[in-house]
Chains A and B, each alone.
Chain A
Amino acid sequence: MSDSYSEAAAAGPEHGGSVSHVVPMKVLIGVWAALLVLTILTVAAIKVDLGSLNLWIAMAIATLKASLVVLYFMHMRYDRPFNAIVFVTALLFVMLFVSIAMLDSKAYEPELVPGYAPGMPK
């Protein structure tokens, strides 16, 4: 009934049937275990006082976890690159949005009035 379809499923990306790659069970379990380890790591890392570095470490671990989910659970590694382009573009725009907003709010004196709003002229 759908021979070419099943063939494509069996063939995987290296044979041009890029659509329906079956992720091996070993990979799925490995990614799951890695995600659990990284969760424990992120909880443990926050207990060590590293100043402002703590936030960046937490974000780096979260990004590593997110990458694992996207690449393996969401099949992006085996998918057509165009889907990745769409998704990564959205991520880049969020980063652009947040960075420019942060630049703007850093352009003012935040502690002009202690604990109150920024942006009041001196």
Chain B
Amino acid sequence: MSAEHHDTHLAHHFDTPIQQLESGKLGMWIFLSTEILLFGGLFCAYAVYRSNHPEIFVYAHRFLDTRLGAINTVILIGSSFTMAWAVRCAQLGKQKALVVLLGVTILCACGFLGIKAVEYEHKWKDGLLWGKRYKAQTEHGAHAPAAKAKGLLPPAAKVNPEVKSLIPLPAEAPHGLAAPGHAARAEHAAMEAPKNVQTFFSIYFLMTGLHGIHVIAGMVVLSWMLLRAIRGEFGPAYYTPVDLAGLYWHVVDLIWIYLFPLLYLIH
């Protein structure tokens, strides 16, 4: 490309806008790969804990509202669609549509976080939290509508919130060492609520929380794109930032596509 064709958006160290766009895209894909690896650690934790303690996951997932999870999936897929559409509009120079679609994408992100907040609030009220903060309410079972609707008992006193020690109860010691009475009681309790239900909620909050942080980051990036789109900075000649922000947003959707069945749809 000769000097008289030099694009105002073209950085001096690139020969052509195509080369610049390609470099940006490659950089974004490398970043997205590191994001996949970041979540990979959590997916690994999920796989190991679920394979070792499937009963915890089967029991605890019923405290999640599948309906809200499904609505959030639809919202996020919709926002991915409007994002891909927005990139198309930027490529074709449809200024107005680009602004509207970026706005719709951000609104979808708000909706997703709003529903997530409702879910988190329910869990907070019911004490369905991570690790030692797990204090499932026994008397206030009415606070758990999802569980109640499915005819599920609230996670009753089987998980003793007073037990702070990490050393297992005598009933959990190898056979022969535990007092016989304890073992029988423990077995009875295990039928209703398995031990260590907090494991599920630790994983649930870590995975959805990290994903939520990514949604917030995506909203910040998309708002910035919206601002620049309103200023009319994007068009067929230069749309790299919209394209890259779009790639990031799709990965946020991608991760949720796996989180939804893994957390909400356990058989």
Contact = CB atoms under 8 A, between A and B. Distances in A.
Given A9-B91, A89-B33, A59 B195 contact: no
Contacts of B261: 42, 46, 58-59, 61-62
B98 to A, nearest CB: 13
A17 B18 contact: yes
Nearest to A40: B70
A54 B61 CA distance: 15
Given A73-B81, A97-B40, A98-B40, A86 B52 contact: no
Contacts of B174: 112-113, 120
Interface string B121-139: 0000000000000000000
A23 B26 CA distance: 19
A113 B195 CA distance: 12
Given A20-B21, A94-B43, A105-B51, A114 B190 contact: yes
Interface SS majority for chain A: helix
Contacts of B239: 20
Given A42-B261, A73-B81, A87 B36 contact: yes
Contacts of A17: 18
B267 A46 contact: yes
Interface in A61-76: 61-62, 65-66, 69-70, 72-74
Contact of B84 (A28, A43, A50): A28
Given A105-B51, A115-B53, A36 B77 contact: yes
Given A23-B84, A62-B257, A102-B47, A116 B33 contact: no
Interface of B: 1, 5, 7-8, 16-18, 21-22, 25-26, 29-30, 32-34, 36-37, 40-41, 43-44, 47-48, 51-53, 55, 66, 70, 73-74, 77-78, 80-81, 83-85, 88, 91-92, 168, 172-175, 187, 190, 194-196, 236-237, 239, 246-247, 250, 253-254, 257-258, 260-262, 265-267
- Ranked nearest first, the 3 interchain pairs of A and B with the lowest CB-CB distance are A90-B33, A94-B40, A54-B267
